[in-house]
Chain A
Amino acid sequence: MNVLDILLWVVLPYVSLAVFVVGHYWRYRYDKFGWTTRSTQLYERRLLRWGSPLFHFGILFVLVGHIVGLGIPKSWTNAVGLSEEAYHAVAIGIGAIAGFCTLAGLAVLIYRRRTVGPVFSATTRNDKFMYVVLTATILFGLSNTVLGALGHEGADYRDTVSPWFRSIFFFQPQPELMSQAGLGFQLHALSALVLFAIWPFTRLVHVFSAPLGYLTRPYIVYRSRDQQLGARTPARGWERAGGGRR
């Protein structure tokens, strides 16, 4: 274990996660108005109709796969009698399908973004950078899955990447595990860490406004006129009168 390992697998993860958490808090405080999906469906919908659901549903499955693969220790699945082969068959099967859906969707979306005039002119430099990092992460991840499916001799990620990932959250980081992992996994993890670090400053923040509350809230929202009209707090003695009503 050398300095580079510590930098890459201890320092970088913590910096990245700290930026991720604090960045989101800051962005939400500073830029609620900019917190949106920035949909371009108004400009073009034929390509979007295929690309967007493919990508989004694909990546949701990928997310579930990562939660299972990184979060659940090998000993647990062994304990319930799930054999190593069965686990990998299921993981690689579902992972490959979801991954290819995601990649296909992303390809359609990027093609659309480049070729449809109004969509391209609504693309910022920030978006382009984010697309590069996101695509790199997905490509590295998917190539790991494919290599795994082909029986390539990479270390089992459940012995290296997963325990390392969990060790970060226990504040007992084990960088040596990561340095044993295959190059593909290392690249995937690194690009993901970069992605987490830029996440709060890109349009990806819309992930955290997934409107699950919609399923339970009443249909019509009633709200009283805001107590405070301007951006600054009213001076003492100048607050709105009447409390509830006006």
Chain B
Amino acid sequence: MRVMAQMGMVMNLDKCIGCHTCSVTCKQAWTNRAGVEYVWFNNVETRPGQGYPRTYEDQDRWKGGWEVGRNGRLSLRTGSRLKRLLTIFSNPIQPSIDDYYEPWTYDYETLTNAPVQEHTPVARPRSLLSNEPMKVEWSANWDDDLGGAPELTQADPVLRKISAQVKQQFEQTYMFYLPRICEHCINPSCAASCPSGAIYKRTEDGIVLVDQDRCRGWRMCVTGCPYKKVYFNHRTGKAEKCTFCFPRVEVGIPTVCSETCVGRLRYIGIVLYDADRVLEAASTPDEEDLYDAQRSLILDPHDPEVIRAAQQAGIPRDWIDAAQRSPIHALINRYEVALPLHPEYRTMPMVWYIPPLSPVVDALTATGHDGEDVGNVFGAIESLRIPVEYLAELFTAGDTERVTGVLRRLGAMRSYMRDLNLGRPADESIAAAVGMTGRDIQDLHRLLAVAKYDERYVIPTAHAEQGPEMEELDTGCSLDYEGGPGMGGWGPFGETSGGVTPIAVENFHMLARRQTTDTLAAPGDRDQRVNLLNWDGKGSPEGLFPPRPDEREGLHGPDGGGVGPDSPSATEPRP
């Protein structure tokens, strides 16, 4: 047994209202830059729908993830290593920008520059790739809220797996949202596809990252990832992906998407798993057994044997404590209500989902039945085959039993807790019907419905002695955007080439210049940036404001001949 810790997330889909706050805050934090306009580390998809990029789940076409060959061995779906190297000059199955969408901006300048005219001027969309005017035809959530259904949903790869009769009724009966980030897989196929070895899994917390200095832009990871969560930055020529907000998680605060989630539906914690059995679990012959196989990888953090092995593996005590209190472990293995997204890709994903019961309840209520009566709910779960089959294709490789089991638990929790909330005696038979006790149900309810901040996020922190080194991470310059007054922009070899100047070095030079200069905090010429960090408060730093007219007077003298071209106005009488 080789114990490793893995950071993971669980999302409770019942609570997702599809507001895209997670996507927007993630974008602001991570991909608000040139070259990654089309990149959404976090996106929210309406299901049924095509997803982002379009139909990414169709692995017959995109060849993401792993497969088990006839000899029972695990290999990447794109073929052998040699085959990948031979297709390195032109990857035959890399999604093109049309499968995402062509990023655009608007020609805002016409709004202010347009001549006087009868009609209001319009800011027309312009492509951010070619600068040409373009027609906006698709984006990251074009089919949001079933927009464009039923035509667009026809192309949903998950829906296509379900029978034809189901397809027709679908949009009338069921819709839910699926927020997605990188799965930070235990068996990441992106890392396995990377020819340069730039994508790595961190030994401490299992977060999968791209080393930007080692990435050479071979693009195999984009194809290798079945979730299409590795993106190609078309300006820097490097792969980028969700980082699980590691600078935040390292100091014990949740990821941006979790922190800003309006529905508070995300849970973060660590699990301990047995790294020696990963290959065996991922090679499980029957796809429907993969869910159990992955669950069996996850170790019980209360088991003394596991604790001893974890300590031997160098996992610190506070991490073992965190694993014991982990909401992820509880939802996956204690209550068994969380399911992995597409376990059949065999990457052992670590962002799991609690399937939504609300649509079932809503459908029941719409028919005039009591949607929270346990008998009705159980009956509805059995009879509303469509949602169950769809959810099974998403979360259990088609095994409807598992999904039904989870939905029954969620339904039982609602009924049981309603009795308590209405002051009626608890009906223990409801709990027993789903193999739980009343105590379990109350604990689960507390975790899912009350969802206290410190119970949703149990993140073991990095240690205080790291503080000084972290300074460098947090002190980027806000002016450092393309064309901005900061240090960024085009180096001699293309976009953002060259090293980053550490802020400490920059300050050192600024300070030295100020100490040796003749004037007060004066930058030598106006093109230079004004560094207020070194401004000692005496006067105003030159270059920060344009010179005032009276200052010009003072400089040149009121009577002086040969003043600047604007001197006549300076001598004109003022009101």
Residues of A within 8 A of B (CB): 27, 30-45, 48-49, 52-53, 55-57, 117-118, 120-122, 124, 126, 201-203, 206, 209, 211-215, 217, 219-225, 228-232, 234-235, 238, 240-242, 244-246
Contact = CB atoms under 8 A, between A and B. Distances in A.
Contacts of B203: 222-225
Contacts of B218: 37, 39, 211
24 contacts: A27-B493, A30-B499, A31-B499, A32-B214, A36-B217, A36-B237, A37-B217, A38-B237, A39-B217, A39-B218, A53-B89, A117-B127, A124-B494, A211-B197, A211-B216, A214-B84, A214-B197, A224-B204, A230-B469, A231-B499, A231-B502, A232-B505, A245-B316, A246-B463
B129 A41 contact: no
A240 B465 contact: yes
By secondary structure, the A interface counts as loop
A220 B191 contact: yes
B451 to A, nearest CB: 30
B129 A117 contact: yes
Interface of B: 81-82, 84-85, 88-92, 94, 96-97, 127, 129-132, 187-188, 191-192, 194-197, 199-204, 211-219, 232, 234-238, 314-316, 462-463, 465-466, 468-473, 490-494, 496-500, 502, 504-505
A185 B17 CA distance: 71
- Label chain B's interface by main secondary structure: loop
Given A126-B494, A224-B203, A232 B131 contact: no
Closest 9 CB pairs of A and B: A230-B472, A34-B497, A117-B130, A211-B195, A118-B129, A38-B237, A36-B237, A219-B192, A32-B213
Nearest to B75: A219
A118 B102 CA distance: 11
Given A232-B472, A246-B466, A31 B91 contact: no
Nearest to A56: B89
B75 to A, nearest CB: 9
A235 B470 CA distance: 13
A215 to B, nearest CB: 5
Contacts of A244: 314
B238 A220 contact: no
Contacts of A246: 204, 316, 462-463, 466
A126 B492 contact: yes
B90 A52 contact: yes
B41 to A, nearest CB: 17
A202 B88 CA distance: 20
Contacts of B216: 35-37, 206, 209, 211
A126 B468 CA distance: 40
Contacts of A229: 466, 469-470, 472-473
Contact of A42 (B88, B97, B492): B97
A241 B462 CA distance: 11
Contacts of A40: 234
A32 B236 CA distance: 12
B74 to A, nearest CB: 9
A222 B41 CA distance: 22
A39 B219 contact: yes
A57 B90 CA distance: 11
Contacts of B191: 219-221
A201 B491 CA distance: 11
A242 B463 contact: yes
A45 B82 CA distance: 22
A222 B200 contact: yes
A41 B81 contact: no
Given A35-B213, A213-B197, A231-B499, 10 more contacts: A32-B214, A33-B238, A41-B96, A42-B94, A124-B494, A202-B493, A214-B84, A224-B202, A230-B473, A245-B314
Contact of A222 (B130, B201, B490): B201
Given A31-B499, A45-B94, A238-B469, A225 B202 contact: yes
Contact of B217 (A38, A57, A230, A242): A38
Most chain A CB within a 10 A radius of its CB, from B97, B132, B237? B237
Contacts of A53: 89-90
Given A31-B497, A34-B498, A229-B473, A121 B217 contact: no
Contacts of B497: 31, 33-34
A232 B504 contact: yes
B89 A228 contact: no
Contact of B97 (A43, A219, A230): A43
Contacts of B316: 245-246
A157 to B, nearest CB: 29
Contacts of A202: 493
Given A39-B219, A42-B97, A245-B204, A118 B473 contact: no
B468 A238 contact: yes
A235 B215 CA distance: 29
B200 A34 contact: no
A11 B502 CA distance: 40
A25 to B, nearest CB: 15
Contacts of B194: 214, 221
A31 B493 contact: yes
